[in-house]
């Protein structure tokens, strides 16, 4: 079966600018852009700039949205947004542990000692 490679959506392009302290993490500014008839890159005034945070927990990357209207606000909101993302990950892990009980011989076995 041939591999299908999808084209880039030219109506949904972003320029990414990364700001980091090289210690805690990064804030990535996603700036919406358009390509005009001459092939020049221009800012897309219809879509809004988005901010995402990036940090690492035990060597694993954690990426999360940051609600902000400007870069300074995104940097100020980095810690609360990261904390909310980590709480969501913990909640998902707990839900997974509850909804995926061990199966044995076609029966569901719930093991309270089981830890992820």
Beta bridge partners of 50: 30
Q: Does position 68 have pLDDT exceeding 60, yes or no?
A: yes
For residues 49-63, one letter each, b for 16 or more C-beta atoms within 10 angstroms of the residue's C-beta and e for the rest, the string is bbbbbbbeeeeeeee
Q: What is the DSSP letter of 22?
A: S
For residues 40 and 114, which has the higher predicted lDDT (pLDDT)?
A: 40
101 in Cβ contact with 113 (< 8 Å): no
Give the global pTM. Answer: 0.75
What's the confidence (pLDDT) of residue 52?
A: 98
Beta bridge partners of 28: 18, 52
Q: What is the pLDDT of residues 72-99, one digit of tens each?
A: 999 999 999 999 999 998 888 777 777 7
As a whole number of angstroms, the longest Cα–Cα distance in the chain is: 66
Q: What is the pLDDT of residues 25-66, one digit of tens each?
A: 999 999 999 999 999 999 999 999 999 999 998 889 999 999
What's the confidence (pLDDT) of residue 1?
A: 85
Band (113; pLDDT cuts 50, 70, 90): low
Chain centroid offset of residue 14 CA? 15
Which of these, 87, 85, 60, 76, lies nearest to 27 by C-alpha position?
76
């Amino acid at each position: 079966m041939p591999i299908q490679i999808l084209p880039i959506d030219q109506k949904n392009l972003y320029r990414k600018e990364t700001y980091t302290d090289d210690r805690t993490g990064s804030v990535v500014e996603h700036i919406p852009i358009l390509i005009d008839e001459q092939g020049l890159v221009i800012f897309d005034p219809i879509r809004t700039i988005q901010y995402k945070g990036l940090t690492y927990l035990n060597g694993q990357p954690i990426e999360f949205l940051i609600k902000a209207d400007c870069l300074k606000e995104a940097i100020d909101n980095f810690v609360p947004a990261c904390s909310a993302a980590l709480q969501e990950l913990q909640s998902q892990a707990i839900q997974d542990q509850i909804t995926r009980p061990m199966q044995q011989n076609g029966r569901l076995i719930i093991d309270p000692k089981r830890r992820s």
